[in-house]
């Protein structure tokens, strides 16, 4: 019987997939209940007495404290069962007797995984036996050993299975006619408290803004801004400059620098084209300033026909009207702006 009960306890210690490991500096209180059995070889009963009832239910309260993940202490008080003998001792007819008492033990444990452990108990049972035949109590201290496992039910509660064995909880067979051993298997429910406070969430230092240098060029078709050969802005041209001013502002740049460059096609004299491109660039600058751009941050330059973008694609066109159409990309105003932008990464 003893071997079978021990096997049950050891098996239970290894089937708890979510077993609860003892946590450093935590206390716990619990209730338990289960099955008790008194046992012993025949010499534990006088010749005229024998066991009649050897099994009963038991229940108890207990509390403990874990000093480390490997070692704790525990104390409790148990009702260990009602049993009965048959026969006689010292001319008294034997019958029912009741066992209860306090227990105290150290509880070494061993983690199996991060969240599981098995434990043993090594201590003493301070037993009280009340015998109906004698109408009095007997007290005795017995060695107590046990083993078990703890199974977590969330953060605060623990289910545990344990096997306990107390050796010879009566001091001698001569006093009441019997001196058996006691063993039981219990299921307990614990509430855990204390322990280290949860680690605070790490404080993430805000990332320093990243400095990004912005360089962009906006190419504006001269036909959108001016009439052919003119340096005066049309109504559409003024609207377009207002739109581009807003786009530049939306970049939220520091140390802004704007350079407006005027370009013409190759039709006409080189000097006239240089003068026209310069005048157109200045007109655009004036409109930017009228829209709120800092005068010190913007400048104008004219390049005339010196920087065409059409290359040679219009070289063989003789018709003037078609040539003017072909060279339209060369007639442009380029707004080149730069500045520094600070970008804060949010991820």
pLDDT value at residue 42: 63
Distance CA 169, CA 182 (A): 7
What are the beta bridge partners of residue 189? Answer: 31, 159
Q: What is the pLDDT of residue 41?
A: 62
Q: What's the pLDDT at 208?
A: 72
Would you state the structure tokens that stand for residue 43, as one six-digit string?
A: 């010499």
What are the residue ranges in the chain where pLDDT is below 50? 1-19
pLDDT at 345: 61
pLDDT for res 202:
82
Q: What is the rounded distance in angstroms from the CA atom of residue 188 to the CA atom of residue 274?
A: 98
* 184 strand-pairing partners: 36, 164
Dist CA 248 CA 299 (whole Å): 15
The model carries a pTM of 0.53
Contact present, 146 and 12 (Cβ < 8 Å): no
Name the strands in the sheet holding 254-263, side by side, starting at the edge strand that comes first in the sequence: 210-221, 332-343, 254-263, 298-302
Burial 173-191 (b: 16+ CB within 10 A, else e): bebbbbbbbbbbbbebebe
pLDDT at residue number 134: 87
Measured CA to CA, the distance from residue 54 to residue 82 in angstroms comes to 9
**Given the structure tokens 């239970």, which residue do they identify?**
12
> What pLDDT is stored for residue 185 in this prediction?
96
Give the Cα separation of 55 and 46 in Å (integer): 20
HSE-CB at 125 with a 13 A cutoff on CA atoms is 28
Contact between residue 51 and residue 18 where contact means Cβ atoms under 8 Å apart? no
Count other C-beta atoms under 10 Å from residue 218's C-beta.
Answer: 15
Cα–Cα nearest to 92, from 140, 28, 46:
46
Residues 6+ apart with CB under 8 A from 190: 28, 29, 30, 150, 157, 158, 159, 160
- What region does 187 belong to: left with phi over 0, alpha with psi -120 to 50, or beta? beta
Residue 107, both tokens: 């509880």
Phi, psi of 20, deg, nearest 5: -95, 125
Residue 184 in contact with residue 35, Cβ under 8 Å? Answer: yes
The predicted pLDDT at position 272 comes to 92
- Start-to-end CA span in the chain (Å): 64
Length of the chain: 347
């Amino acid at each position: 019987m003893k071997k079978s009960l021990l096997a049950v306890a050891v098996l239970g210690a290894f089937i708890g997939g979510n077993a609860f490991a003892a946590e450093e500096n935590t206390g716990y209180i619990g209730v338990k209940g289960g099955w008790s059995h008194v046992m012993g070889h025949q010499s534990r009963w006088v010749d005229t007495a024998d066991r009649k009832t050897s099994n009963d239910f038991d229940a108890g309260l207990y509390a403990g404290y874990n000093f480390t993940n490997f070692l704790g202490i525990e104390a409790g008080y148990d009702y260990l069962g009602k049993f009965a003998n048959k026969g006689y001792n010292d001319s008294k007819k034997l019958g029912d007797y009741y066992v209860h008492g306090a227990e105290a033990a150290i509880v070494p444990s061993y983690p199996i995984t991060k969240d599981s452990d098995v434990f043993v108990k090594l201590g003493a049972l301070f037993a009280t036996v009340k015998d109906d035949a004698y109408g009095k109590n007997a007290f005795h201290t017995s060695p107590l050993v046990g083993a078990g496992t703890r199974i977590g039910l969330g953060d605060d509660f623990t289910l545990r299975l344990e096997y306990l064995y107390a050796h010879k909880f009566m001091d001698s067979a001569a006093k009441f006619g019997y001196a058996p051993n006691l063993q039981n298997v219990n299921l307990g429910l614990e509430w855990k408290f204390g322990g280290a406070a949860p680690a605070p969430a790490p404080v993430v230092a805000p990332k320093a803004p990243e400095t990004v240098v912005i360089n962009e060029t906006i190419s504006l078709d001269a036909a959108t801004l001016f009439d052919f050969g003119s340096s005066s802005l049309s109504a559409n041209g003024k609207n377009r400059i207002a739109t581009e001013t807003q786009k530049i502002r939306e970049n939220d740049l520091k140390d802004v620098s704007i350079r407006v460059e005027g370009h013409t096609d190759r039709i006409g004299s080189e000097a006239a084209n240089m003068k026209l491109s310069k005048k157109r660039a200045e007109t655009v600058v004036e409109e930017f300033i009228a829209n709120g751009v800092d005068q010190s941050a913007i400048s104008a330059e004219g390049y005339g026909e010196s920087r065409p973008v059409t290359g040679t694609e219009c070289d063989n066109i003789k018709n003037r009207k078609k040539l003017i159409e072909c060279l339209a990309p060369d007639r442009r105003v380029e707004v080149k702006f730069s500045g520094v932008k600070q970008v804060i990464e949010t991820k």
